[in-house]
Chain A
Amino acid sequence: APAPSAEDLSLGVDWLSRFGYLPPPDPTTGQLQAPEELSKAIAAMQRFGGLEATGVLDQATLALMKTPRCSLPDLPAAPARRRR
């Protein structure tokens, strides 16, 4: 599958954070999400939405992200990581 565009990736990360699949990005460091974390989050989202859990941000996943829905997160908000 073709790699998602930067725009789709940004949309996906934003969406996954918004609905509880990813911890919110750390505003102090601007730390990006690790690829493994992102893939796990996408897989969890796909499972929740009834898609095959590939962990890849494909067109079906993006379409699901654009489906009208409730604003509440699907998973309890994951706490943001703290620096030691």
Chain B
Amino acid sequence: QAPAPTKWSKRNLSWRVRTFPRDSPLGRDTVRALMHYALKVWSDITPLNFHEVAGSRADIQIDFSAADHNDRYPFDGPGGAVAHAFLPGDHHTAGDTHFDDDEAWTFRSSDAHGMDLFAVAVHEFGHAIGLGHVAAPRSVMQPYYHGPVGDPLHYGLPYEDRVRVWQLYGVRESVSPTAQPDTEEPPLLPEPPNNRSSTPWRGHSCSPSLAVQRVMPSVISSQPLPQSPAAASTSPTLPAPPCHRHLPSASMNLPCPWTSSGVIPHVVPSGFLTVAIKWVRGLAGTVERGRLTGWLSPARLFLSPGDRYWLFKDNNVEEGFPRPISDFGLPPGGVDAAFSWAHNDKTYFFKDQLYWRYDEHTRRMDPGHPAQSPLWRGVPSTLDAAMRWSDGAAYFFRGQEYWKVLDGELAVAPGYPQSTARDWLVCRDLQTSPESTDGQAGAHARPGQTDQSRSEDGYQVCSCSS
């Protein structure tokens, strides 16, 4: 008596690698990338969307565990049982996927004794979305491990598996059931760890030209890359753009707003502003001032790297995006800055010396706009970025300086402008050349600030409390 099929009732599923293999030649980025591609195998042909999350809550929790790890399926050392995943359902482990940490996990390896992580992951994620084992020899859901299945970037599911998953979830709109899955160029897999330099980019972290957006409960701060290919060529090499780490679904099936505009994001826990100071190999696009704009209306985040904008809800891109910014009555070419002012529930867009005011309730631009900037006395007429911070004040950025407007006020607070590098980036020596400036929390933080400086997963993080 076959049990009723189990499947997810939702179509957007989050995932997270909770624990990584301990003694594996595969780096964390490689493991994450392989998980991404193994999930993409399924989402390419079904209406499922997978996005990586950083928090503790994820639909699909991925672990590398050994021996008995407190579920019904203890591992048994090398060989034997290599992985398992839990079918969808109401149980808290539904979708969770476990790999035996005692296996010699490999990727693109000629070692016949290793266990190809991508091949196993594709199989296990089949379980995680509701597929059981089948006897069909060509099916990826055949229970036995038969070695690597090929390049993750070009792998396509056997027809039998496609039919089975279509029976559960239907066909993705962009896919013809009789055709091969879409072969759009996917993002690059990270190089093997030994091909990387771990040298952090020591760019212009203390002479920033920022686009900033405070996202509840996180912050995105983006810093344009060096302006010329020459600057790029002298930069050390580092891993591929980590856009999907931060807003995962943005980069999985959609263009990543940051990488497409040559800007690198960094999202950190609540209360911190972090500047991405990573250089991405091969990405040498010119970034114009203010190309990345972010603004936040109630519960909705908009990001725009140019003429188009993306709408996010939580970490997901809403369906139907990107859309042209002309939706808001904005001119082609993008805007320099935008932010929502909680004082009147209006969203302000700035471009050159003009500003527009958008009404969140009527969803139209207010009459009489664009108008001449600035609206707030003391704020410069052109801006690089603007945002509302957790203290309720609005902050405006231009060049190396920022201006603060207290909540509800129409003029800049006394004592401004101040240095962005000193107050937001905690740069200890503003005159230091980029080569000698590491952007880390300095020794001269102001009273009340809590400095944190750490290098995590190849990233340099520079943060300060609000």
A4 within 8 A of B: no
A49 to B134, CA, bound (A): 9
**Nearest 4 CB-CB pairings of A with B:** A71-B84, A71-B81, A71-B73, A68-B145
Contact residues, B19-65 vs A (CB, 8 A) = none
A32 within 8 A of B: no
Picked from B83, B115, B135, B144, the residue with its CB within 8 Å of the CB of A71 is B83
Within the complex, the shortest CB–CB distance from B372 to chain A, in Å, comes to 66
A35 within 8 A of B: no
A-B contact count (CB 8 A): 60
Interface size on A, residues (CB 8 A): 16
Chosen A-B contacts, 30 in total, with CB atoms closer than 8 Å, are A48-B135, A48-B143, A49-B135, A50-B137, A66-B79, A67-B144, A68-B80, A68-B81, A68-B103, A68-B115, A69-B80, A69-B81, A69-B82, A70-B81, A70-B82, A70-B124, A70-B127, A70-B133, A71-B73, A71-B84, A72-B73, A72-B84, A72-B127, A72-B133, A72-B143, A74-B133, A74-B143, A76-B1, A76-B2, A76-B132
A60 within 8 A of B: no
Within the complex, the shortest CB–CB distance from A15 to chain B, in Å, comes to 10
Interface size on B, residues (CB 8 A): 25
Asked whether, in the complex, the Cβ of B145 is within 8 Å of the Cβ of A67, the reply is yes
Contact residues, A43-60 vs B (CB, 8 A) = 47-50
A19 to B145, CA, bound (A): 15
User: CB-nearest residue of chain B relative to A79?
Assistant: B1
Within the complex, the shortest CB–CB distance from A43 to chain B, in Å, comes to 13
Asked whether, in the complex, the Cβ of A69 is within 8 Å of the Cβ of B143, the reply is yes
A9 within 8 A of B: no
User: CB-nearest residue of chain A relative to B146?
Assistant: A67
B355 within 8 A of A: no
| Majority secondary structure, A binding face | loop
17 more contacts with CB within 8 A, not counting A70-B84, A72-B132, are: A48-B143, A50-B137, A64-B144, A66-B79, A68-B81, A68-B82, A68-B144, A69-B81, A70-B81, A70-B82, A70-B133, A70-B143, A71-B83, A72-B84, A72-B133, A74-B133, A76-B2
User: CB-nearest residue of chain B relative to A18?
Assistant: B81
A68 to B79, CA, bound (A): 5
User: CB-nearest residue of chain A relative to B74?
Assistant: A71
The answer to whether residues A49 and B2 also contact, given A69-B82, A71-B83 and a CB cut-off of 8 A, is: no
A9 to B262, CA, bound (A): 63
User: CB-nearest residue of chain B relative to A70?
Assistant: B143
A76 to B103, CA, bound (A): 26
Residue of A47, A68, A73 with highest tally of chain B CB at under 10 A: A68
**Neighbouring B residues of A69 by C-beta, 8 Å:** 80-82, 143-145
**Neighbouring A residues of B85 by C-beta, 8 Å:** 72
